[in-house]
Chain A
Amino acid sequence: DIQLTQSPSFLSASVGDRVTITCRASQGISSYLAWYQQKPGKAPKVLIYAASTLQSGVPSRFSGSGSGTEFTLTISSLQPEDFATYYCQQVNSFPYTFGQGTKLEIK
């Protein structure tokens, strides 16, 4: 199975900050990676797919990059509504797996 490791697991930042979350895969997955945002008590929603393609309707301050085994999700200027938990997911092969999550909190 492909393991995904996110770092950091917790991140404290302020409105307006630029933040980067990393997702590392235990083996190469090309660009078969998606990023999701989850707010408390809500279902996750997709932000990025194919490692770097922004889902329709997602603000352009979100961006994704990477291929192979290392990927990043960047938020260029944090907004109050961005404080949430973020997950990466590999869809290269079954079993699909998720990273453990990165909780982004307000400093």
Chain B
Amino acid sequence: EVQLAESGGGLVKPGGSLRLSCAASGFTFSDYSMSWVRQAPGKGLEWVSSISSSIYYADSVKGRFTISRDNAKNSLYLQMNSLKAEDTAVYYCVREVYTIGAGGRGFNWFDPWGQGTLVTVSS
């Protein structure tokens, strides 16, 4: 069974740092792009960052967050520095699935999602 399990969330003061981890199992981790998506309390979903052969960040976290992976440990990470109150959210680790559809076009989507880990930034 494909599983993703986040850890590392917690309460941190504004300006502080936190490192999230995501342990993957049930699939060949190195074959997939991985991402982080967050959801502020009572709000919608916000894509944060993705890592494949390239790395991408949302403007809201660029320069403060760093995504990385260790394929030998089947793990994804998110180093979060200079945290702000608006970074308070549940952070989900997601696998990006890619398939070639009709006509040879590639399509991707997020599946599965981890259970999420809550990050609270407050003094």
Contact = CB atoms under 8 A, between A and B. Distances in A.
Interface of A: 30-32, 34, 36, 38, 43-46, 49-50, 53, 55, 87, 89, 91, 94-101
Instruction: Pick the most buried of B44, B105, B112: most chain A CB atoms within 10 A of its CB.
Output: B44
Interface of B: 35, 44-47, 50, 56-59, 92, 97, 101, 105, 107-116
B62 to A, nearest CB: 10
Contact of A98 (B46, B59, B114): B46
Contact of A96 (B50, B111, B113, B116): B50
Contacts of B46: 98
B47 A98 contact: yes
A43 B108 contact: no
A43 B115 contact: yes
5 contacts: A31-B105, A38-B45, A43-B113, A87-B44, A95-B57
A-B pairs, top 6 by smallest CB distance, nearest first, are A49-B109, A43-B113, A50-B107, A34-B109, A96-B47, A98-B45
